[in-house]
Amino acid sequence: MAYTASSFAQILTRLFHWVLQPRLEDAVSQQLFPPPRSFHTAVPEQVMDGVLTPLWARFRRTLTPLRAVQHGRIQQYLMYVLLTLCVLLASSFPLDQILVQLLGW
Amino acid sequence: MVRDASTLLLHFTLLLALPPLLLGVINKTKAWFAGRRGPPLLQLYYDLFRLFRKGMVLSQTTTWIFRAGPVVTTSAVLLAGSLVPFGAFDAPVQFAGDLVLFAYLMALGRFFTTAAALDTGSAFEGMGAAREVSFACLAEAALFTAFVVLVRFSGSLSLTPMFHAPAAGPLHGLPAAALFLVAVSLFVVLLAESARVPVDDPDTHLELTMIHEVMVLDHSGPLLGLVLYGAAVKLFLLSALLLHLVLPFTLNDPILDWMWFVVGVGAIAVGIGVVESVMARLRLRYVPSLLIASVVLCVFGFVLTLA
């Protein structure tokens, strides 16, 4: 008989079964001459499979349309740079002060 | 300076010499309750002396981990002993956050005990190791929650000021209630960590009930001696910590304070003996409930310190 990792952790997985949700496959036969019995237990990765992987899949799905902006055409990338510079310039342009000086608002 | 040197010397002398006596006191108390004469008070000293003179039998399946287990465990608890304040005196080593080092030195000792047990490859010892770590998970949580309450109470992150704070002023009202809850919780942690009734029964060698004893079945001679000694030191350290909460006052005289400490730790050993005499071992499935209850007690204590 070997003491496995699963049996080593069994007390804790039972105690915290409400969060760890261990899966148990125990084929018990009620026949008079029962066939060989099988027993299988596994603790699923709650954080990885239950939280992180679905979260990441959703994140990917939501952001997939943004892939269209990355296509490998240098000219358009330069256009992005130009547009960004224009936006930055416009946002730092002291429009309100000019309006105050010009129109006396 | 001379007083400091003598304090240091006494600290380490008591740390090294006193622990086996506590087990003698516990056994005498149990014997007195059962109407027996019981083993001599110094029985564990005789046992250790006998074991250290013996040879060792080592299984061929074991590696260096098995031999390192008792050595590392005993060294770790002795190192932890330099962080614990004895009675009215400061610990030889103290710094902010030493409570974490204390808890993890205990954990290191436990890790090596369980690793040595698993190293034998025996399913029986694996079972004991599994039980030990499962219950330790909960006992450690209770210990840390108790520390959190004391940190909140004393405003310090070091064991010496934390455990000297209850003796600093008169205790009444909510702080006293909080400390009482922490003391009860620490007592349960002490029983669990030292493998005493009602968590474990050190006298039994029955498969269904063993936790600590099963892990050390394969040790013999000096290694077994180290295991027994390490367990006694652990019990002594936790008793020394608990003493600050149970009898939170000092006598303002170094000699009287040292005597007070020794008597106090002995009284806690008597208390453990009484618990072992009047209680049966808990069924294994109820042990987690006991440990979770001690965590909850500490959480209540924390809530009281917030008020």
- Beta carbon pairs, A and B, within 8 Å: 25
Asked if A7's CB is within 8 angstroms of B126's CB, the reply is yes
Q: How far is CA B58 from CA A81, B65, B84, B118, in A?
A: 73, 12, 35, 14
Q: Does B253 have pLDDT greater than 50?
A: yes
Upper half-sphere CA count for residue B168 (Cβ side, 13 Å): 11
CA B164 to chain centre: 19
Both tokens assigned to B189? 């942690």
What's the pLDDT at A74? Answer: 92
Q: Provide the residue type at B123 as one letter.
A: A
Contact by Cβ (8 Å): B29, B269: yes
Chain B hits for A11, Cβ within 8 Å: 130-131, 134, 288
Residue B173: pLDDT band by 50, 70, 90 thresholds? Answer: confident
Q: What is the DSSP letter of B136?
A: H
Three-class HEC string of chain A: CCCCHHHHCHHHHHHCHHHHCCEEEEECCCCCCCCCCEEEEECCCHHHHHHHHHHHHHHHHHHHHHHHHCCCCHHHHHHHHHHHHHHHHHHHCCHHHHHHHHHCC
Q: How far is CA B229 from CA A38, B77, B119, B182, in A?
A: 45, 10, 21, 27
- CA angle, corner B256, sides to B253 and B260, nearest 5? 125
A18 reaches B (C-beta below 8 A): no
Percent of chain A at pLDDT exceeding 90:
29
> A11 to chain B nearest CA, in Å?
6
User: By CA distance, what is B288's nearest residue in A?
Assistant: A15
What CA–CA distance (Å, rounded) separates B10 from B258? 9
Output the CA torsion A54→A56→A57→A59 (10° steps): 120
Q: How far is CA B304 from CA A63, B177, B245, in A?
A: 49, 8, 16
What CA–CA distance (Å, rounded) separates B262 from B142? 26
Structural domain for B53, as ranges: 2-306
* Mean pLDDT score, B227-254: 92
Question: Could you tell me the end-to-end alpha-carbon distance of chain A, in angstroms, rounded to an integer?
Answer: 90
Asked if B134's CB is within 8 angstroms of A12's CB, the reply is yes
Q: What would the pLDDT profile of A29-45 be if each residue is shown by its tens digit? A: 778 888 888 888 888 88
Q: What would the pLDDT profile of A44-63 be if each residue is shown by its tens digit? A: 888 998 899 999 999 999 99
What CA–CA distance (Å, rounded) separates B124 from B155? 45
Burial class of residue B55, CB neighbours in 10 A (0-12, 13-18, 19+): exposed
Chain A hits for B288, Cβ within 8 Å: 11, 15
Answer with the residue of higher pLDDT: B69 or A42.
Answer: B69
Residue B1: pLDDT band by 50, 70, 90 thresholds? Answer: very low
Asked if A3's CB is within 8 angstroms of B123's CB, the reply is yes
Q: How far is CA B111 from CA A78, B220, B292, in A?
A: 59, 19, 21
Q: Is the peptide bond before B85 cis (omega within 30 degrees of 0)?
A: no
The DSSP bridge partners found for residue A25 are A40
What's the pLDDT at B3? Answer: 58
Chain A hits for B131, Cβ within 8 Å: 11
Chain A hits for B130, Cβ within 8 Å: 3, 7-11
Answer with the residue of higher pLDDT: B307 or B28.
Answer: B28
Q: Does A105 have pLDDT greater than 70?
A: no
Answer with the residue of higher pLDDT: A97 or A88.
Answer: A88
When CB atoms are compared, the residue of B126, B133, B288 closest to A3 is: B126
Taking residue B303's Cβ as centre, other Cβ atoms within 10 Å add up to 13
- The whole-chain average pLDDT of chain B stands at 91
CA B130 to chain centre: 20
Answer with the residue of higher pLDDT: B18 or A34.
Answer: B18
Q: What would the pLDDT profile of B27-45 be if each residue is shown by its tens digit? A: 999 999 999 999 999 999 9
Counting the structural domains of chain B, the total is 1
Both tokens assigned to B176? 């006293």
Contact by Cβ (8 Å): A3, B127: yes
Asked if B131's CB is within 8 angstroms of A3's CB, the reply is no
A84 reaches B (C-beta below 8 A): no
The DSSP bridge partners found for residue A39 are A26
What CA–CA distance (Å, rounded) separates B195 from B105? 17
Q: Does B2 have pLDDT greater than 70?
A: no
Q: Does A15 have pLDDT greater than 80?
A: yes
Upper half-sphere CA count for residue A28 (Cβ side, 13 Å): 3
Q: Provide the residue type at A44 as one letter.
A: P
Phi then psi for A40, rounded to 5 degrees? -140, 135
What's the pLDDT at B221? Answer: 93
